[in-house]
Amino acid sequence: MEEGPYKYIRVRTDNVKLLCVLLFQLARIQTDSVAATLKELYSDVHLEIVGMTTIGDKILDTALSKIGEKSLFTKELENALEKNEVDLVVHSLKDLPTTLPPGFTIGAVLKRENPHDAVVLHPKHKGKTLETLSEHSVIGTSSLRRAAQLKKRFPTWTSKILYLSKDSRGNLNTRLKKLDEKDDFAAIILAAAGLRRMGWENRISQILMPEDCMYAVGQGALAVEVRARDEDLLEMVSVLHDHDTVLRCIAERAFLRRLEGGCSVPVAVHTELKDSQLYLTGAVYSLDGSDSLKETMQTSITATGKVTAEVQRVGVTASKISGEAQDRAERLGTDLANLLLSKGAKEILTVARQLNDAR
């Protein structure tokens, strides 16, 4: 949840307006990209973009894992949807809970940007990597998931610190400015997708591959939330669905839902779709990374050409994508979670949650 979901769309086909509500610059860029695509497809739709701030966005002096679950960032947006004040909400998919409130659904999941995490170095460390930074370097992150995995990946870092800092939250502009102008961090870890969308690829010093740090559920994908009862809008936005991204994210979200995970526990995933096979790797970690479980499973998602009625799967409605393929993706996520639970995942996550709450 690094850049908020904070964008709405109001849509009418009678040439009235389309409204987006947003907060940060990245949110504006993400909203503009969705609005531009809709405008190309539906030239009679008028667009107007305005801003909104949620409670979650105002609490920037506390790590995400300490301020509650994802609904803190979405409740106010969904209130506006429910009141018909707006018609669509553009989110970063990773900000959306795996179970949406009654009456709402994800009507579109767009093609995924690079889902991996990236290392952004302080300018004085240009050219280095996590491996070559000094032992006393401080790496900033507001993510339990990132901190746990990096501690596990580099267990010999006795002096190097990976810690959850209140200063590592906020919009990307602010965080990069703090990194560059202060000497608090040697590097910070951010989502590569956000940096790429902002046009700041040159700040990426290193992409963390799955063997170093797997990503968050839904990371890198944009989602459009709508009222579930609004069939016209569902039909309108359904053309934005990206087939592969939908199936990957359904599997990831089913995995997280079965584990009952969230921001307050370290859960990570990696998905790949190759030769009609969907591969899902999922893992859970203790806060210090010393205890973990990681497994991989796969399933065939060969399309049968058959689509289903507008059925939600982990909050997603994708009626133009094979229902059988979606069901298999959802089962894959659930089965992998069950495998980890059978090996003790619940105990690891319970302890992680308790320790985080006690901080």
* Tokens coding 198: 């902002």
Residue with tokens 């990307």: 172
β-sheet bridge partners, residue 270: 281
Whole-number Cα distances in Å, 276 to 14, 107, 272, 350 = 41, 24, 10, 36
Q: How many C-beta atoms lie closer than 10 Å to residue 225's C-beta? A: 26
Cβ–Cβ < 8 Å for 215, 269: yes
CA 359 to chain centre: 24
* Dihedral pair phi/psi, residue 8, rounded to 5°: -115, 160
Active-site residue identified among 87, 95, 117, 242: 95
User: Following CA atoms 20, 26, 30, 32 in sequence, which dihedral angle do they give, to the nearest 10 degrees?
Assistant: 60
* Active-site residue flag, 95: yes
β-sheet bridge partners, residue 297: 280
| SS3 track for 85-100 | CCCEEEEEHHHCCCCC
Tell me how far apart the alpha carbons of residues 84 and 71 are, in angstroms, rounded to a whole number.
Answer: 19
Tell me how far apart the alpha carbons of residues 95 and 22 are, in angstroms, rounded to a whole number.
Answer: 14
* Tokens coding 150: 């990096």
Tell me how far apart the alpha carbons of residues 178 and 93 are, in angstroms, rounded to a whole number.
Answer: 27
Report, as residue numbers or ranges, the catalytic residues.
95
